């Protein structure tokens, strides 16, 4: 489980194409500190398993399913990436609950800078539209953000200088793909309601 608070701006140092998979080597001295085989690290919001670590770098295998559902397939040597270690149990929840399971990809439509922040408009896949609401939470390339406006096929986010400086969202351009993860709680509620479950009774409320 992650929080969407990016810890480090990393870099892809190598990409090896395998049969129906890819092997990435990524540099991230902070997130690899103490990391070992089998640990999880979120890369642009995608939860990946560490295969090995060495000298501030780690290797992760990415299966075809992940490449199909995310923008990781577009990464190449030299690409910058957002990195985050899993949330420690009992730690502060700085963003919102993020699984690292990408629901789909969007595309940056436009960027509108202002004096103290920048508004970014992102295209929204139709199948995710119902989960995105004004003032709700969404994860974009692994960054926990608050939705400013939500329409049927797009939404906007407001980026502060810290986010622009410390994540890849500061260098993404119009037309660039981004990974999207919607709030998992909304998906659970939808599934329960579709099954005819009364949320009050499910919670043990017999009124």
Q: pLDDT tens, 63-99?
A: 999 999 999 999 999 999 999 999 887 776 777 788 8
- The b-or-e profile of 59-94 (16+ CB within 10 A means b, else e) is bbebeeebbebbbbeebeeebbbbbbbbbeeeeeee
Q: Which pLDDT does position 178 carry in this prediction?
A: 97
Q: What's the mean per-residue pLDDT of the chain?
A: 91
pLDDT tens figures, 136-189? 999 999 999 999 999 999 999 999 999 999 999 999 999 999 999 998 888 888
183: its two tokens: 């709030």
| pTM of the model as a whole | 0.85
Longest dimension (CA), the chain: 59
Distance CA 148, CA 166 (A): 21
Distance CA 202, CA 185 (A): 15
Instruction: Find the range with the poorest average confidence among 12-16, 92-96, 102-106, 153-157.
Output: 92-96
**Which of the pair, 94 or 110, is modelled with greater confidence?**
110
**Which of the pair, 96 or 132, is modelled with greater confidence?**
132
């Amino acid at each position: 489980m992650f929080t969407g608070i990016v810890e480090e701006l990393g870099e892809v140092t190598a990409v090896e194409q395998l049969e129906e998979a890819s092997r990435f080597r990524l540099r991230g001295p902070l997130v690899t500190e103490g990391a070992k085989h089998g640990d999880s690290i979120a890369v642009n919001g995608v939860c990946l398993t560490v295969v090995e670590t060495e000298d501030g770098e780690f290797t992760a295998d990415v299966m075809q399913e992940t490449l199909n559902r995310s923008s990781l397939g577009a990464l190449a040597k030299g690409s910058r990436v957002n990195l985050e270690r899993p949330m420690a149990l009992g730690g502060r929840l700085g963003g919102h609950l993020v699984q690292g399971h990408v629901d789909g990809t969007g595309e940056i439509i436009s960027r509108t800078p202002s004096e103290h922040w920048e508004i970014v408009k992102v295209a929204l896949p139709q199948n995710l539209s119902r989960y995105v609401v004004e003032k709700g939470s969404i994860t974009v390339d692994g960054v926990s953000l608050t939705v400013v406006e939500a329409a049927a096929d797009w939404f906007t986010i407001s980026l502060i200088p810290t986010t622009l400086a410390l994540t890849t969202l500061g260098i993404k351009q119009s037309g660039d793909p981004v990974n999207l993860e919607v709030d998992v709680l909304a998906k659970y509620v939808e599934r329960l309601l579709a099954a005819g479950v009364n949320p009050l009774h499910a919670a043990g409320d017999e009124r």
